[in-house]
Amino acid sequence: MHEFLQFTVIGIAIGAVYAVAASGLVVTYSTTGVFNFAHGAVAMVSAFSFSEMTVTHGLPVWLALVVVIGVEAPILGVLVQLLMRRLFGASVERSLMVTLGLLLILLGAADEIWGGQSSRQPGQLYSGATSYSVLGVHLTVANLLVMIVAAGVAIFLGFFLKRTRTGVAMRAVVDDPDLLAMAGASPARIATMGWIIGVVLAAVAGILIAPLQGGNLSQTTLTLFVVNAYAAAVFGRLRNLPVTFVAALGVGLGETYIGNYLQQYEPGFTQNWLSVPSQTLPIVFLLIALLILPQDRLRAVGRAVTTRIPKVASLGQSLVGGAAVVALALLASVALGTDWQGIVRQGLIFGIVALSLVLLTGYAGQVSLCQVTFAGVGAFAMGKVTGGGSWLGVLAAVGLSAGVGMLVAWPTTRLRGLYLALFTLAVAAFADAWFFTNTNYLFDYNHSSSLLIKRLGLFGISFEGNRAEMILLAVAFALASILVLALRRGVFGRRLVGLSDSPAACATVGLNVKATKLAVFGISAGLAGLAGALYGTNQGFVGALDFQFLISLNVLLMLVIWGARSTSGALVAGLCSAVLLQKGGNLSGIILGVGVLVIGWLPNGIIGTGWPMLRELVRDRSPGEAPAPEAELVEDAGHAA
Amino acid sequence: MSEVSQGEGWWQASDGKWYAPSLHPDVASGEPEPEPAPEPGVPAGVVVSPERNPASLELVGIRAGYGRIEVLHGIDLTVPAGSVFALLGPNGAGKSTLLKVAGGRMRPTAGKVLVADHETHRHGGADALARAGVCSIPEGRGIFPNLTVRENLLIWTYQGKVRLPEVEERAYARFPKLGQRRKQVAGTLSGGEQQMLAFARALVGNPRVLLLDEISMGLAPLIVAELYEVVGQLAAEGITILLVEQFIQTAVAVATRAAIVVHGRVEREGSPAEIAAEAAEHYLAGSGG
Amino acid sequence: MPLDPITHMALEVREVSVHFGGVRALDSVTFGVMGGTVTGLIGPNGAGKTTLFNVLSGLQTPDQGRVLLAGREITRKKPHQRAQLGLARTFQRLELFWSLSAGENVRVGAEAVVQWWHPSHIRQTLGRGTPVRPGGPGTPAHGSAGVAALLERVGLGGLDWEPVDGLPTGQARLVELARALAIGPQVLLLDEPGSGLDDSESAVLGDLLVELAGEGMAVLLVEHDMDLLMRVCSQIFVLDYGQLIAGGTPEEIRANPAVQAAYLGSAQ
């Protein structure tokens, strides 16, 4: 009983921090319609700044608080709003990519500033060790302080959002910014308030949680603790603050009870299956929260701003393009040094992952943050079938990951946009924590922490040599891009684009939206699985860290930068991802994050925008092509009729 | 002020007060007005409050559209200060788009909007325009369905230098039903009550120009009549009103001037009676019937 | 609303009600559409016509009431199942596939009920039916004939490869109509197909609707253009704030004082 009460106190304290973080998410979302994936990163940066000021430079706590919460966080909030302003009214997917980019920028910046120093103590709001004993339960001042702050936040938000004009306008702005403007309020100003409050609450949560996590400050742990807040916010449907608060307390308590009791009674289980409960359980909570979300009804959406699909290559053109890729690879294998050859090989593999995203995200509009997870599943199958390195293994890789892809898609066919992105994020995190790192049972039960995969051979030709492997990978990429383009030309491709443009219209012409989504997830995951299998053959082994969530993010964002609807974009994105991972160091996140901001200006990506412009330019320059484009079009089309 | 009486028939009597055109001695004596309003729907004898300071609204060469599709192909329209101007015409002709441009909710691709002879684009967006006295009541339900009646009224206070109690008092006095439901979530009100709540915005902040987009949409005739009674009163107070209305008779009853918009152009402008006859043909007549 | 029991009722609506919050969008609406006729549905804006279309096509679940397609209950069927049973619709606010061409929009409709392993689909995927602009490499020689014919039929001949993104509203509406026709429907629901069309386009549309009805299709037409309605409809129903207030031949409807009041407003 005493133990239970003790866990309860700790659980409430942790839940209180989640509540503060989650309410920040909810305020921002309900004011701007943007779910801030960088919320955790903001908390992390704030905790580090606070520690820097109080621990390293010995500033008084109150001064540090004023600087971090009163100056740093609001400035960050205003900056984010300025970024987001360009995306006002843009698709959920685009603003989502930008907050993901922001996440990478903040992580990269923190790495650059604080990465070199190994150990760093969290800043304490109250450094004394005083604690009270109530009914035999240990209550530290730190815990008490957290609870008081959370209660204060709840009361403040309740008052502010219900009673003040700005607060009421904040609740209204997302529903109808146009009407708010007609009523004389500036939607942009109201949205800015939403960002400032959200970012400030993230900062407060970061400062509060850092000491509770114990030990040194960790960038990853601090950034990921927000996944708990995600779960709480999703329980509150991202709009309802009271439910979010209660859910946050529930998540905190659940995590504490389950983690502590399991540790106590089933230490073996915990060690083998949970690794760090505070990191693995939140993912489960988030998955549960998303799975119990109510059905999303099909709705007519009217005319959305769409991105242009570049002209689709014919079979002949795509064959020529494929041959060109192989030829370039051959050239690269002669001209480049060993180091860069390795990067190009990896780039081709990432390119295949990017191709799978062209299909899924580019054409069908379904955001996936777990594409590299599918690749990992493929690598697992490759490594397990006939000892690794057989064509049978490649088949198994494609089949298994396609199956997993459809399994992931099954509950998500009713989710869209943001919720789908959150779900795939949770799947990726789940696989990171429970599968790839579980070398005892699941991923690699030889306890050697890496799964060996041999190079392939074909008709007596071995791909042992790196040059041969390079050609193999180039051929694989070429075939995959020919496949993606062929799908796009056909029935299936039109359906995918239709699905992305108007699901309601798809349904009313008789298309089974759910089946189409399952199919595209399956094919896309299968393609990613192929990439995973090839990744294994290229590297000779795969380990726990090869298929992390951040790599999925890297490839996805890179593809978006270059053009999510083009296969050449996929190639460039794959190569750039490999270069960035191998050579970018700390700066890679910042480079990628800043790059993603490009889509505020170029929704079609660099290639998607540049290519048609280049064609126009060439057409304008060349003499003799007098007729206006319009006239030419109609005339051309006349032949077919 | 003198423009008002010259332009639209509002006239200042020797006692310094403003009277509706129908009460002008010239009308009684049979002397026709330059643009006579045959049946002004303004309650007789209403006094125009001079502090309203009505403003004229002028659209010059307006072109506007969505994406690459142009909806308005060069609209020229002058709404004199203090007049009630009705826009009639078939669905999809561009009337709502015209109101959007006039209210600063949409940027024209060409042309300019002048309110009291000032170009509005210098005001900024719809919010700045609203604070400057151009009040738009949009098509559909111009309310926030997830907020309560009171919270909606609180937001209406952004429009002018008024406080919530004052707004509540005015709104509830005008629409007593709203007063009974002040804590109810607006989305659960009946259609008529929702429109009254939307309309309450025209009562606050002393707007100088009122843009009304099909306020009768989906409402029972009794409620429409009630809303137009308010429109008549606001008109009598001297607010310049530009309205789009599908019900010709309703519009004509209150208007002092009217125009037909077809295919993004002003086809004809004239007195409400003339325009009504022509517009009715567009709506109900039908050559094949 | 008294209705004669008619021999072939293609679409029946029985006592359908829908509420949104405190607003009653549809109030116990009952009527039917006969096969081989064009039936008009009119009423002031906001009367509930679009809500009714959403109920019919399965995008909105009614609070009460039933919907029958050729005598078969479809109230619980999903939108795509209804389409496969022969119910097609267009939208007042266009729901096109904005990043595809006019022809591709129609193709999605034409192919929606065909399984992917159908030979013609595989041929396309292999590259012979590539949607590359005609005249370029890989010109499609076949497969597009049906689509071209449909576009021709709605008056958009030759616009197969035109991106719908850049079409004027009237033509974009016709693309939606062609897409709806592509599924081979028994019942066609058209939500203001005439708005945004010029006179000649409108005339073509009217002829087409009469022709379709002549082929046995049941057409339910929401429209404001009374010229068009008078010309093509054999029967018109009038919806006013969620209730059916009248039904009859166009002449009866025009003469009906209740309809005039609803349409022209009661303020005198």
Place of tokens 């980019």: A101
**Cβ neighbours of B201 in A, within 8 Å:** 182-183
How much is the mean pLDDT over chain A? Answer: 83
Q: How far apart are the first and last CA of chain B?
A: 49
Q: What is the mean pLDDT of residues A483-497?
A: 88
Report pLDDT for A555.
Answer: 93
pLDDT digits (tens, 9 = 90+) for A142-179: 888 899 999 999 999 999 999 999 999 999 988 888 89
- Cβ-nearest to B155 among A168, A178, A303: A168
- Whether A498 shows a pLDDT value over 60: the answer reads yes
Question: Chains that contact B by 3+ CB pairs under 8 Å?
Answer: A, C
Residue range C181-201, pLDDT digits in tens: 988 889 999 998 887 777 778
Predicted confidence (pLDDT) at residue C132 exceeds the cutoff of 50: no
The span from the CA of C268 to the CA of C262, in Å, is: 13
Give the pLDDT of residue B285.
42
Q: Determine the residue type at A114.
A: W
The b/e string for C137-171 (b: 16+ C-beta within 10 A; e otherwise) is ebebeebbeebbebbebbbbebbbbbbbbebbbbb
Distances from the Cα of B66 to the Cα of A91, A187, B173, B243, angstroms:
17, 21, 40, 22
* Both structure tokens of A296: 């999303």
Residue A168: list chain B partners with CB under 8 A.
147, 151, 154-155
Query: Is pLDDT of B286 > 70?
Result: no
Q: Which single residue is written with the structure tokens 């719809």?
A: B126
CB A25 within 8 A of CB A236: no
Q: Which residues of B touch C229 (CB under 8 A)?
A: 286
User: Chains that contact A by 3+ CB pairs under 8 Å?
Assistant: B, C
Q: Are residues A328 and A220 in the same domain?
A: no
* String of DSSP letters for C55-106: HHHTSS--SEEEEEETTEE-TT--HHHHHHTTEEE--SS----TTSBHHHHH
Q: Give residue-wise pLDDT tens across range A92-101.
A: 778 888 899 9
Segments forming the whole domain that contains residue A112: 2-291
So what's the pLDDT on residue A388?
72
Count residue pairs from B and C with Cβ separation < 8 A.
113
Handedness of CA B121, B122, B126, B130 (dihedral sign): negative
Nearest beta carbon to residue A181 from set B67, B126, B201: B126
pLDDT score of B48: 41
Which of A32-41, B246-255, C56-65, C213-222 is the least confident region?
Answer: B246-255
pLDDT in tens, B91-119: 778 888 899 999 888 888 888 888 888 77
* CA atoms C52, C58, C63, C68: torsion sign: positive
Closest chain B C-alpha to C212 CA, distance in angstroms? 19
Indicate the average pLDDT of chain B. Answer: 77
Contact C46/C262 with Cβ under 8 angstroms?
Answer: no
Q: How confident is the model over C77-99, as a mean pLDDT?
A: 90
Amino acid at A38: A
CB C98 within 8 A of CB C164: yes
Q: What residues in B contact A169, CB-CB < 8 Å? A: 155, 158
Q: Among all residues of chain A, which has the CA nearest to that of B123?
A: A184
pLDDT on residue C73? 93
- Checking if the pLDDT of C29 tops 90, the result is yes
The DSSP code sequence of B111-127 is EEEEETTEEGGGT-SHH
pLDDT in tens, B220-241: 777 888 889 989 988 888 899 9
* Predicted local confidence at residue A407, as pLDDT: 92
Other beta carbons within 10 angstroms of residue C63's beta carbon come to 14
Band of residue C31 on the pLDDT scale cut at 50, 70, 90 = very high
Residue at A294: amino acid letter = P
Chain C from 69 to 128: CB within 8 A of any A CB: 78-80, 82-84, 88-89, 91, 93-100, 104, 107-109, 111-114, 116, 121-122, 124-128
Q: Do residue A389 and residue A323 come from a single domain?
A: yes
The minimum CA-CA distance between C60 and chain B, rounded to whole Å, is: 18
Sheet harboring B69-79: ordered strands across?
B69-79, B57-66, B110-115, B118-119
DSSP 3-state of C183: coil
- Who's near C148: CB < 8 A, 6+ residues apart? A640, A641, C103, C157, C160
Least confident window among A555-569, B234-248, C102-116: C102-116
pLDDT of residue C115: 61
Q: Decide if pLDDT at C2 tops 70.
A: no
Out of B130, B143, B201, closest to residue A181 by CB: B130
Which comes out higher in pLDDT, residue C133 or A461?
Answer: A461
User: Which residue from A182, A575, C209, A255 is spatially nearest to B106, judged by alpha carbons?
Assistant: A182
Tokens of A122: 């969290």
pLDDT over threshold 60, residue C92? yes
Handedness of CA A521, A527, A529, A531 (dihedral sign): negative
Q: What rounded mean pLDDT belongs to chain C?
A: 81
Mean pLDDT (whole number) for A14-24: 94
Determine the 3-state secondary structure of A574 from DSSP: helix
Task: Say if CB C196 and CB C176 are below 8 A apart.
Answer: no
> Quick check: A502 and C96 CB within 8 A?
yes
Q: Examine the pLDDT at A614 and tell me if it is beyond 60.
A: yes
Burial category of B149 from C-beta neighbours within 10 Å (exposed 0-12, middle 13-18, buried 19 and up): buried
| Chain B residues touching chain A at CB-CB below 8 Å | 66-67, 103, 105, 125-128, 130-131, 135-138, 142-147, 151, 154-160, 201, 205
d(CA A343, CA A345): 5
Q: Are C173 and C197 contacting, i.e. CB atoms less than 8 angstroms apart?
A: yes
pLDDT (tens digit per residue) in C43-75:
877 788 889 999 999 999 999 999 999 889 999
pLDDT at B117: 80
What pLDDT is recorded for position B105?
Answer: 87
* B7-11 CB contacts, 8 Å cutoff, 24+ apart: B7/B56, B7/B80, B7/B81, B7/B82, B7/B83, B8/B35, B8/B37, B8/B80, B8/B81, B8/B82, B8/B83, B8/B256, B8/B257, B9/B33, B9/B35, B9/B36, B9/B37, B9/B40, B9/B256, B10/B48, B10/B82, B10/B238
In degrees, rounded to 5, the angle at the alpha carbon of residue A606 between the alpha carbons of residues C159 and A317 is: 55
Any A CB within 8 A of C263 CB: no
Task: List all chains that touch chain C, counting a touch as 3 or more CB pairs closer than 8 Å.
Answer: A, B
Q: Which of A168, A184, A185 is opposite residue B147, by nearest beta carbon?
A: A168
Asked if the model's pLDDT at residue A606 lies above 80, the reply is yes
d(CA C198, CA C190): 17
**Does position A541 have pLDDT exceeding 90, yes or no?**
no
- The predicted model gives C12-36 an average pLDDT of 89
Residues A346 and A257 in one domain: no
Chain B residues touching C169 at Cβ < 8 A: 69, 92
% of residues, chain C, pLDDT over 90: 37
What tens digit of pLDDT does each residue of A196-226 get?
A: 999 999 999 999 988 877 667 777 777 777 8
Of A517, A552, A587, the position where a domain reaches its end is A552
Nearest Cα residue in chain C from A633 = C162
User: Domains of chain B (ranges plus CATH)?
Assistant: 2-50 (no CATH), 81-107+122-283 (3.40.50.300)
pLDDT digits (tens, 9 = 90+) for C206-231: 999 999 999 889 999 998 777 788 88
Residue with tokens 């990017």: A354
Residues A319 and A286 in one domain: no
Candidates B68, B135, B143, B155, partner chain A, best to mutate (most A CBs within 10 A) = B155
Q: How far is CA A551 from CA A104, A364, A545, A560, C58, in A?
A: 11, 22, 10, 14, 41
| Cα-only R_g, chain C | 19
- Comparing CB atoms, the residue among A306, A513, A639 nearest residue C135 is A639
User: Which has more pLDDT, A329 or A277?
Assistant: A329
Question: By mean pLDDT, which of A387-391, A404-408, A480-484, B105-109 is the weakest?
Answer: A387-391
Let me know whether A402 and A486 are in one domain: yes
Question: Which alpha helices (DSSP H) does B157-211 contain, by range?
Answer: 164-174, 176-180, 191-199
Mutating which of B88, B149, B195, B247 best tests the C interface, going by the most C Cβ atoms within 10 A?
B247
Cβ contact (<8 Å) for B155 and A180? yes
**What is the structure's pLDDT at A375?**
95
Q: Which residues of A touch C107 (CB under 8 A)?
A: 491, 494
A440 shares its domain with A476 = yes
CB C63 within 8 A of CB C40: no
What does residue C37 show for φ and ψ, rounded to 5 degrees?
Answer: -135, 160
Lookup: tokens for A209: 């949680």
Q: How far apart are CA C104 and CA C102, in angstroms?
A: 5
Average pLDDT of span C125-133: 42
CB < 8 Å to A304, chain C:
98
Domain ranges of chain C: 1-86+185-268, 96-184
Instruction: Count CB-CB contacts under 10 A for residue A380.
Output: 28
pLDDT greater than 70 at residue C12: yes
Instruction: Tell me what pLDDT residue C96 has.
Output: 92
Residues with Cβ within 8 Å of A382's Cβ and at least 6 positions away in sequence, in order, are: A388, A389, A393, A394, A396, A397, A453, A532, A533, A536, A537
Q: The tokens of A351 are what?
A: 């390119």
The total domain count for chain A is 2
- Tell me the pairing of strands B110-115 and B118-119: antiparallel
B38-91: pLDDT as tens digits: 334 333 333 344 455 678 889 999 998 876 678 889 899 999 988 999 998 877
Q: Does the pLDDT value for residue A248 go beyond 90?
A: yes
What's domain C1-86+185-268's superfamily in CATH?
P-loop containing nucleotide triphosphate hydrolases (3.40.50.300)
Q: Give me B24's structure tokens.
A: 């002008």
User: Cβ distance B255 to B272 under 8 Å?
Assistant: yes
For B174, the 3-state DSSP assignment is helix
Query: Chain A within 8 Å of C158 (Cβ-Cβ)?
Result: yes
Distance CA B3, CA B11 (A): 10
CB contact under 8 A, B216 and C23: no
Q: From CA B286, how far away is CA B84, in angstroms rounded?
A: 29
